[in-house]
Chain A
Amino acid sequence: MKYKATRTTLAPLVVAAGIIAMPMGASAADEIKIGMLSAFTGTFASFGQLQKEGAVMALEEWNYKVAGKTIKVIYADDQLDNELAVTKAKQLVEQDKVDVVTGLVSGDEGLSVASYMKGKDIPIVPMYSASEDSTMRKWYPFVVRPTWTGAQPMDVFGYWLSKVKGLKKIYMIGEDYSYPYNQAGGFKRGFLRGGGVEVTTVWHPVPTSDYSSIISSIPLDKKYDAVLYNGAGSDAVAFVKQYVEFGMQSKIPLLGQSNTFEKPDLDSMPQQIVGAYSAHLTADDMNTPNWNKFRDAFQKRWQHSPSAASEFAYGSMELILRAIKARNGDVTDKAALAAAMHKVDLSDEPRGPVALDEYNAAIENVYIREVAVGSDGVMYNKGLFTAKNVNQFGPYDSKIYMKQPSDGPSSPPDLRADMPREMLEVAKDYEFVPFGK
């Protein structure tokens, strides 16, 4: 094998071919482009698929036409990798020249893309990405999130467990990245404010498939009232299965974060977990006209029931289309488009009425749920109580809230004794009404 250095001219030719073959972004004047960035392949492909189904349903209801303009959606796959997400966002902005960016599953993905998009003056509508700082400490007016923050349902959940159920000590095992940090942060604030004493937190890397050492190190002699698994997807399925196999469920009851018991993952979990509590912005047995209409249409279109991810995607796409309509199809002024998004009426959102606060974050109902078995023998999340009109700051004053450090692996503190006083006392806390009222 000789080293043949000058033997070829192919390399420069290929470079030239690359330039010639570069895709040209053709754009028509009567076309509005929406870039949807999500995980369509890889470990989290199911989330991307659920999002796409929700978004497509909204688009089909509008027949891909708003105010005489054709809506074109460009799907970009980021495999839920933050670096790839930025690369694909560049593609949407620089090549496809999209008018709106939406999609986004995870918290870090949302923060990375929002950081790149800052200064590009293109509205971003995160569908499932829940890191609160996107609409808080790092917010800028082009970010519009009609969905949620990680802390939003968990603050309600924690408060309910300590204030209403009287729990004092929780052992939390979580996935080590920003969305579970934000869920843990909300949970700790609510739980300690409601009278809880301690939330011990343990983190594990994502993904993990063997939890035997983590589960066997849960201290049974320290009188914890419950174990909260703060993870989702395949991690949650593996954890819950092993938790039950180790016989832990009969010793310490299991709680979940918002996504732990979400469908379709719930279908792979053992039925011993019936009765486990969680909190989210949807419940599987909602029975309002808006929800029923959405669920039936979704069932008809995709042959399975919707999850929170698909409902959020439907609502987000609906917001985008209604804002474009409000602008009468004119998307040249992006600031005006973002402002129109802020004003869109979402009171008929399937999961319950939604309004946007001054940071374009959702004010909405939070549902406390438990895992139950339906008459068909299939497990589902049964609504128990509703806290109405919850905003991303919970019961706190926004200035006091944002003065605290961002949620991380060790903030806020685990103990009530270490929590700042101003985070333990609020003027008015949540009221719980029975679900469906």
Chain B
Amino acid sequence: MTGTLLQGSSLRRLRLVVAIAVVVALVTLPAYGGQYTLTTFIRTFYFGFLALSVGLLLGQGGMISLTQTAFFGISGYVVGLLGAERGFPFPLPELAGLALVAVVALLFALVVMRTHGIVFLMLTLALGQICWSFARQNTSLLHGWAGIPDIQPPSIFGVDLTQNANFYWMSLALFSLGLLFLWRLVQSPFGLALNGIRESPRRMSALGYPVFWLRVAVFVIAAIYAGVGGILAAWSSGIVTPTALQLSRMIWILLIVILGGSQYFWGPVVGAVIAVWLDVIVSQLTPRYNTVIGIVFVVVILLAPNGILGVWERITAKRRALRQVPAAPPDSNQ
């Protein structure tokens, strides 16, 4: 153990250097990246928020919720309805959207959090489908299939977000804040209690934890993450349609989280980056891009059930073990 201590700290230093390099590269991206690279990163950020939402419930709470795209859509629709159509100024539609997301999430949670496992999955599926059907079939308010077009990002403190670079910096900052908050959350007693509930709700209940209300709270927090993603998406694409809520998008996000590694903090982020870029790159190479991406997903999940971060961990663990081999006594190797 004493021999690896130095190695550990140098590895940590290397990690720090890489992390700083990535941060610098991301912040200065508008200086050297193309317009479309910025746009793709913006997509990564808003789908990233949605992936964090799913990842928080799945990784921390052990819950597979199929309602998360509904929250992504609700905030987008409120921004479209109040901002683009009725002309309310900047923070109002967005705050109203997040407030509605929180209220709806609370109501949904009061119902679904009484259940576990497959019943939970089916209930969240049903609630998500209700929201999607409503968006698709309501033509008087939500314009059905056509959706709400002409949504413009606002100017915040004099910064014009219709400029791609400004929008990129804003969403990068927002995403970093989101990650930071989530990081603090999972390290807090609340996060640890959540992990306990994931492993054994009954035991946590016996220990005196209010299991039901803790699960309700994490559901509302996850919904707000999806809602923030929905606002960014509406601003960026300028339109909100029922597609934002549909089941195939929900499953795509779930796959992204599993692809990255659902039990890792960075899993949803890695998954979102890879999936969004894979889509952009492969769709330029072949019209059968959906097949290719589907095969990639299947292969990764078959060979690496813990996702890409699981594979990475296995590689680094093996390398560490290899390094230790010469130091180990020969007879301990049996």
Contacts and interface: CB of A to CB of B under 8 A. Distances in A.
Contacts of A41: 287, 290
A137 to B, nearest CB: 13
A203 B287 contact: no
A198 interface: no
B147 A108 contact: yes
A98 B61 CA distance: 47
Interface stretch (A57-65, A77-85, A338-346, A359-367): A77-85
A91 B139 CA distance: 30
Given A90-B36, A94-B39, A10 B266 contact: yes
A3 B199 CA distance: 12
Contacts of B29: 19
A205 B146 contact: no
B280 interface: yes
Interface in A89-103: 90-91, 94-95
A14 B265 CA distance: 15
A5 B265 contact: yes
Contacts, number: 156
Contacts of B15: 9
A4 to B, nearest CB: 6
Contacts of B265: 3-5
Interface residues of B, number: 63
Given A5-B265, A8-B312, A206-B145, A19 B238 contact: no
B240 A11 contact: no
A83 B243 CA distance: 8
A13 interface: yes
Given A13-B18, A41-B287, A178-B146, A7 B239 contact: no
B211 interface: no
A430 B146 CA distance: 33
A21 interface: yes
A15 B243 contact: no
Interface in B103-161: 136-137, 139-140, 144-147, 149-150
A213 to B, nearest CB: 14
Given A22-B33, A83-B147, A77 B283 contact: yes
Nearest to B29: A19
Contacts of B137: 176, 205
Contact of A10 (B21, B239, B244, B308): B308
B39 A176 contact: no
A87 B43 contact: yes
B283 A115 contact: no
B34 interface: yes
A106 to B, nearest CB: 9
Contact of B241 (A9, A11, A83): A83
11 contacts: A3-B60, A4-B309, A9-B18, A10-B309, A14-B274, A15-B26, A112-B147, A112-B149, A176-B137, A177-B146, A178-B146
